[in-house]
Structure formats: C-alpha cells, structure tokens
Amino acid sequence: HAWEMAKASHVTIELDSKAVPLLEGALELAAQGMLTSGDKTNREYVGKDIEVADSIGKETRSLLFDPQTAGGMLISIPPERATDMLARLRENYSQAEVIGRVLERGACSITVR
C-alpha cells in the first residue's frame, strides 16, 4: 500500500519498522521460515525502489513485504491532524499507529528505518 501511495504521489514515505503493528506470533513464524511466496514476489516487484536499513532483521523485512502481514489499511494525513485521528481510530482499532511520515521525493519511494 505504501509503495503505491508514494509512487502515485511522487513522494518518499519513511516507515518506522518498530512502529508497524505485526500480527501476534508473526515474527516467530517468520523465524521458522513460515512465509508466503508474496514476500519474494513483492521484493522483486518493488525492491529496487525501497531502501531498508541494514539494522532491520531478516524476519521483519520479510513481514514488511509479505501481503498477509503487510496491513489492511494505510491512511496518510497531515502531521498536525495525526494525534486527533489516532485517538479516534483507537476507539475501534486498538492497533492503530503512526508508522511513518511523508517526505519530498528522494532516491526511492520507500525508506524503512
């Protein structure tokens, strides 16, 4: 979702890998090699347009690319509205988080730190 949004908007989205909510047990399953083929397919499709920090572990990388765990909804709003929107979302969606920010277009569409 983030890659499509960044590409269409001609911006770079910087994601905080530690802020991205993961499904319970997903990291443990990824460590055991339980991944879908979507991880590899998505990497091949957009991989050259995404920069992932070397400090991010293999399992987290895989989950960020995997379509089963890559999240269902992504909203981009101005920073000054984030606190209010997050509070409203959490009334019904406890896992709602601010996971990144939108920057002027850089060398790639997505950076993950």
**How many separate domains does the chain show?**
1
Which residues constitute the domain of residue 68? 2-112
Asked if 16 and 100 count as a contact pair (C-beta separation under 8 A), the reply is: yes
pLDDT score, position 72 = 66
User: 50-87 burial string, b = 16+ CB within 10 Å, else e?
Assistant: bbbeeeeeebbbbbbbbeebbeeeeeeeeeeeeeeeee
- Output the domain CATH number for residue 56: 3.90.650.10
**From 8-12, 72-76, 79-83, 98-102, the region with the lowest mean pLDDT:** 72-76
Between the CA of residue 4 and those of 24, 37, 53, 59, 95, what are the distances in Å?
Answer: 26, 20, 20, 23, 22
CA atoms within a 13 Å half-sphere pointing along the CA-CB vector of 76: 17
Q: Write out pLDDT tens, residues 33-88.
A: 998 888 888 888 897 899 999 999 999 999 998 876 555 688 999 999 999 999 99
Q: Write out pLDDT tens, residues 15-29.
A: 999 999 888 899 999
